[in-house]
């Protein structure tokens, strides 16, 4: 049975040979992640998110909500009205749609109209984070997509509540209209912020 280093020292004194400690197992260099590789992976995620956002925007606004006009005697859905809408418009829309049509609009709000702001907001946060290094500017550019996601989700609920009544409540309609207009404004600001972030990222890459 092999003796411990302490036992060998007690038996043989200072002449006892103490085995050297085993060298540490070398790290697996194949798993090293360089900053360039991490940035490349982040850009792939951003590209996928931007493509998904473009698809959802087309599916929601240019396809689904446009098709909903066929169930409302040609009247546009409140989500598509960039300039907002009045209580009279909501009352007319309620009369033009039956319960099934309003239920279908509510289903759209719970699916595509929920996924779009969430995926868009997440993609734009990554887009800005990868391209903008200054912390203060990064937070400033993050504000619009974050607010857009919150406002758009809140607007979905507000539109359904305003449209549910034959005689809509003026306060509910005003809230839904304001959220719709604000959502479009924040969406356009987010697009502008994304363009600015890409420009800053390219300029930083040229300097490097």
Encoded tokens for 194: 């994304």
- Residue owning tokens 């969406």: 187
pLDDT the model gives residue 207: 77
| Helix (H/G/I), strand (E/B), else coil: 115 | helix
Mean pLDDT, 10 residues at a time, over the chain (208 residues)? 61 56 53 62 89 97 96 96 96 96 97 97 95 93 97 98 94 97 98 94 80
> Distance of CA 91 to CAs 86, 127, 163, 174, Å?
9, 41, 7, 13
Encoded tokens for 202: 């390219």
pLDDT the model gives residue 43: 85
**Rounded distance between C-alpha atoms, residue 137 and residue 203, angstroms:** 15
**Rounded distance between C-alpha atoms, residue 36 and residue 200, angstroms:** 17
pLDDT the model gives residue 23: 52
What is the reported pTM? 0.80
The DSSP call for residue 165 is S
């Amino acid at each position: 049975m092999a003796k411990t280093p302490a036992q060998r020292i007690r038996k043989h004194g200072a002449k006892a040979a103490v085995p050297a400690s085993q060298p540490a197992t070398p790290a697996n260099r194949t798993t090293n992640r360089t900053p360039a590789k991490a940035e490349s992976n982040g850009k792939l995620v951003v590209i996928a998110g931007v493509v998904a956002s473009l698809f959802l925007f087309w599916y929601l606004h240019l396809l689904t909500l446009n098709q909903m006009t066929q169930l409302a005697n040609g009247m546009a859905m409140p989500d598509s009205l960039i300039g907002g809408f009045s209580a009279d418009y909501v009352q007319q829309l309620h009369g033009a749609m039956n319960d099934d049509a309003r239920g279908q609009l509510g289903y759209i709000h719970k699916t595509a109209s929920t996924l779009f702001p969430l995926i868009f907001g997440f993609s734009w946060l990554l887009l800005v984070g990868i391209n903008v290094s200054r912390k203060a500017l990064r937070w400033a550019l993050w504000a619009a997509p974050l607010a857009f996601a919150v406002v758009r989700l809140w607007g979905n609920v507000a539109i359904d509540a305003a449209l549910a009544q034959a005689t809509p409540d003026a306060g509910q309609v005003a809230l839904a209209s304001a959220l719709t207009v604000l959502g479009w404004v924040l969406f356009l600001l987010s697009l502008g912020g994304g363009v600015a972030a890409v420009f800053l990222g390219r300029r930083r890459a040229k300097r490097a």
